[in-house]
């Protein structure tokens, strides 16, 4: 009898992993993807929606169209996992039994954790990105502030990319001279990685983007239009964009599968749950201290697929493990970009920003739908 | 002179910038003059704690290392 493999979450990691398991297991595993919406969203595109460079419709495809025919899709929300009984309870009341379970539920944003930030802008959800672009379209000058309200957050380069793309957008609209852009950074540099900061900071200065270091957002006063840091500093704004705090999904927290923020503890190489048998996790879902990004989910998916396929077939675990590989693009505006590449054993490197990397990023965004979910890119 | 630590933070295994953020949060709870100690394993924490102390005015009274674990002691600034 075929093993029952259940994948929670139809994002980059879950979709790619489900397809690879179906491919590798040669009929010895039946894979079911559970996704709350049945709609696959390309989240890296939110950044572009926020500055009007991408249409929301182009960032969404039906999940079913991205899955191999042998993979079943259940459009429902997982509400509870019982690791002892090896079952997943769905919101509809249906129960799925599993032999192997992959948690690829990702992260959720919780802006409500920041006092006063209820109506603040963000580009970490589709709705947030659409609303932010609406506000930018009618922005006639003033101070736009970007702050970080919690670590970890998805796509570490995104805040820096956003201020560069915002600079381009305001210039194109002819309101840049009447505007100030302020980037509030958790550290005393633009980006966590020192080498990348050194590359990016002169460009920020050149574009007239003001960097304030050690500003960890604590609260917002929407009436006075000020944002205050844990360090005790206060900054005025006309339009405030925050990177919201993130946490794991509710089903992880409700099922006791994660830590106090809902991140799932896994072995950083095999991606197996530290405390429970037959469970793996990938992407934003895990507690691995590495970027929460599509690229991590992508690289981890092939490892988890090999692990789960072997388990489903009753074979020993494969030798290939996740080595901490991360590859991110970072837009620096004016049609240029750089990349950041590293793994557990190699420190980050970033090439000088150029048009080449900008075009590579756009090409990747376009070809994503035909390559990544299917597991066609290594 | 005996030094009393008002609060101790275990930041081992966390990577930057989490140690700084957790420290900034914890420092808010301290009264002026009180000491906070923090243990971290991320080597990047050494320059980060130094710079954070200089920027915020909370003195870094100690920065040491033993067996791969860094220990920092910060003194909450007087208002």
What local confidence, expressed as pLDDT, does residue A49 receive?
A: 98
Is residue A179 located within the same domain as residue A115? yes
Distance CA B49, CA B64 (A): 12
Is residue A123 located within the same domain as residue A233? yes
* 3-state SS class at A228: strand
Of A75, A162, A66, A64, give the one whose Cα is nearest residue A121. A162
Is residue A115 located within the same domain as residue A216? yes
The CATH number linked to A226 is 3.50.50.60
Is residue A198 located within the same domain as residue A186? yes
Distance CA A71, CA A23 (A): 10
Q: Which of B28, B44, B55 sits opposite A230 (nearest CB)?
A: B28
Task: Write the CB contacts of A72 (distance below 8 Å, at least 6 apart in sequence).
Answer: A30, A31, A32, A33
Distance CA A87, CA A110 (A): 28
Q: Tens digit of pLDDT per residue, chain A (378 long)?
A: 899 999 999 999 999 999 999 999 888 999 999 999 999 999 999 999 999 999 999 999 999 999 999 999 999 999 999 999 999 999 999 999 999 999 999 999 999 999 999 999 999 999 999 999 999 999 999 999 999 999 899 999 999 999 999 999 999 999 999 999 999 999 999 998 888 999 999 999 999 999 999 999 999 999 999 999 998 899 999 999 999 999 999 999 999 999 999 999 999 999 999 999 999 999 999 999 889 999 999 999 999 999 999 999 999 999 889 999 999 999 999 999 999 999 999 989 899 999 999 999 999 999 999 999 999 988
Distance CA A155, CA A104 (A): 16
On whether residue A81 sits in a domain, the answer given is: yes
Cβ of residue B30 closer than 8 Å to a chain A Cβ: no
Of A20, A13, A194, give the one whose Cα is nearest residue A105. A13
On whether residue A355 sits in a domain, the answer given is: no
Is residue A23 located within the same domain as residue A53? yes
State how many domains chain A has: 2
- β partners of residue B40: B11, B70
Ramachandran angles phi, psi of B72, nearest 5°: -120, 140
Q: Which domain holds residue A254?
A: 3-106+249-321
Question: Which of A297, A321, A345 is at the close of a domain?
Answer: A321
Cβ of residue B73 closer than 8 Å to a chain A Cβ: no
Question: Which of A205, A225, A245 is at the close of a domain?
Answer: A245
Is residue A188 located within the same domain as residue A123? yes
Is residue A28 located within the same domain as residue A123? no
What local confidence, expressed as pLDDT, does residue B17 receive?
A: 84
Q: Does A214 contact B56 at a Cβ distance shorter than 8 Å?
A: yes
- pLDDT score of B44 more than 90: no
Is residue A161 located within the same domain as residue A270? no
- β-strand A209-212 against A217-221: which pairing, if any? unpaired
- pLDDT score of B1 more than 70: no
Cβ atoms of residues B12 and B39 within 8 Å = yes
Is residue A119 located within the same domain as residue A180? yes
Q: Give the residue from chain A lying closest to B14, CA to CA.
A: A289
Of A98, A104, A75, A78, give the one whose Cα is nearest residue A89. A78
On whether residue A353 sits in a domain, the answer given is: no
Question: Which of A292, A321, A350 is at the close of a domain?
Answer: A321
Is residue A60 located within the same domain as residue A163? no
On whether residue A183 sits in a domain, the answer given is: yes
Is residue A135 located within the same domain as residue A99? no
What local confidence, expressed as pLDDT, does residue B2 receive?
A: 53
Residue A290 burial by Cβ neighbours in a 10 Å radius (0-12, 13-18, 19+): buried
Cβ of residue B79 closer than 8 Å to a chain A Cβ: no
């Amino acid at each position: 009898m075929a093993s029952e493999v259940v994948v929670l979450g139809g994002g980059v990691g879950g979709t790619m992993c489900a397809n690879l398991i179906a491919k590798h297991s040669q009929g010895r595993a039946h894979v079911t993807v559970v996704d709350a919406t049945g709609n696959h969203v390309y989240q890296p595109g939110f950044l572009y929606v926020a500055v009007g460079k991408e249409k929301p419709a182009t960032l969404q495809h039906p999940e079913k169209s991205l899955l191999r025919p042998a993979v079943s899709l259940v459009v429902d929300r997982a509400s509870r996992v019982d690791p002892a009984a090896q079952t997943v309870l769905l919101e509809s009341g249906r129960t799925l039994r599993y032999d192997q379970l992959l948690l690829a539920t990702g992260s959720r944003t919780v802006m409500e954790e920041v006092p006063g930030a209820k109506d603040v802008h963000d580009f970490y959800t589709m709705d947030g990105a659409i609303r932010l672009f609406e506000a930018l379209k009618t922005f006639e000058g003033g101070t736009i502030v970007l702050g970080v309200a919690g670590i970890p957050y998805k796509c570490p380069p995104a805040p820096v990319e956003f201020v560069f793309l915002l600079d381009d957008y305001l210039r194109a609209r002819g309101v840049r001279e009447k505007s100030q852009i302020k980037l509030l950074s958790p550290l005393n540099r633009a980006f966590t990685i020192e080498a990348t900061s050194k590359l990016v900071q002169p460009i920020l200065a050149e574009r007239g983007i003001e960097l304030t270091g050690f500003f960890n957002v604590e609260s917002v006063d929407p009436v006075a239009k000020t944002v205050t840091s844990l360090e005790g500093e206060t900054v005025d704004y006309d339009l405030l964009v925050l990177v919201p705090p993130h946490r794991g999904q509710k089903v992880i927290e409700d099922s006791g599968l994660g830590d106090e923020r809902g991140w799932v503890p896994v072995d950083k190489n095999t991606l197996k749950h530290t405390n429970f048998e037959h469970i793996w996790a990938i992407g934003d879902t895990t507690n691995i201290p590495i970027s929460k990004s599509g690229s991590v989910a992508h690289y981890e998916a092939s490892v988890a697929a090999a692990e789960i396929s072997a388990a489903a077939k009753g074979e020993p675990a494969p030798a290939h493990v996740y080595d901490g590989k991360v590859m991110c693009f970072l837009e620096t505006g004016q049609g240029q970009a750089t990349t950041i590449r590293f793994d557990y054993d190699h420190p980050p490197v970033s090439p000088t920003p150029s048009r080449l990397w900008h075009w590579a990023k756009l090409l990747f965004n376009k070809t994503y739908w035909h390559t990544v979910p299917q597991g066609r890119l290594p | 002179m005996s030094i009393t630590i008002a609060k101790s933070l275990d930041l081992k295994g966390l990577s930057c910038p989490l140690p700084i953020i957790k420290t900034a949060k914890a420092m808010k709870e301290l009264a002026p003059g009180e000491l906070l100690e923090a243990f971290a394993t991320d080597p990047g924490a050494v320059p980060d704690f130094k710079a954070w102390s200089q920027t915020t005015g909370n003195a870094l009274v100690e920065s040491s290392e033993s067996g791969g674990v860094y220990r920092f002691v910060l003194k909450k600034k007087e208002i």
